[in-house]
Amino acid sequence: MPKISHERKAERRAEIVAGARRCFAREGYEGATVARLEAEIGLSRGAIFNYFESKADLFLAVVEQTSLEYTEIWLDRGFRALLDEIVRADADWLAVQLEAIRRFRTDNEFKRRAQEQDRRLAETRPDRMERLRAQGLRDDVPLETVGIFLGIVANGLALRVTVADPLPDLDELFELVQTGVAPRRPR
């Protein structure tokens, strides 16, 4: 049996996550049966679950990837770019992100797995905080508080997109955010 390179394994895993993302967005977690995942991804359940222990683990991988993608947009291109990306996002996919939050609250096993995932991601937190600090944010409150505030704004915008509420003018919203997080000028 031929060995598969680490690169090919990573590519295959990414293909599985991309297909699962489309299926979860269209069907939701419950509706994304293994048969539907197989059809969307184009692989057998054996091939899919060779990379993931369960549907829940696959779902968590998809949610984690999206969260990391949005974080990278924020840290690489700035908060305004993140707001633009959220507005352009597929509302069905954003709804899946909200479904992950619901599962976190109501499914103890899902919560345990998500917390394990968070512990693994914690290793990269200092780097993310330094990249956030480099964006020239106010320093009279803890940087973590500024990050939480910005996350609340981004998540609130995502919720509005998901439920098709009218969206704010992004220039005005961003100006309000900038006023709140810009460094304080001495009086």
For 37-89, how does the pLDDT look when each residue is reduced to its tens digit (9 = 90+)?
999 999 999 999 999 999 999 999 999 998 889 999 999 999 999 999 999 99
Which CATH number do you get for residue 80? 1.10.357.10
Q: For the chain, how many structural domains are there in total?
A: 1
Residue 186 has pLDDT above 70, yes or no: no
Domain of residue 176, residue span? 54-181
Integer Cα distance of 41 and 17 in angstroms: 8
Q: Is residue 43 part of a domain?
A: no
- Average pLDDT score over the chain: 91
pTM for the predicted model, two decimal places: 0.83
What is the average pLDDT across 95-110?
A: 89
CB 72 within 8 A of CB 66: no
Task: Write 143-150 long-range contacts (CB < 8 A, 24+).
Answer: 146/181, 149/180, 149/181, 150/74, 150/79, 150/177, 150/181
Q: Is residue 152 part of a domain?
A: yes
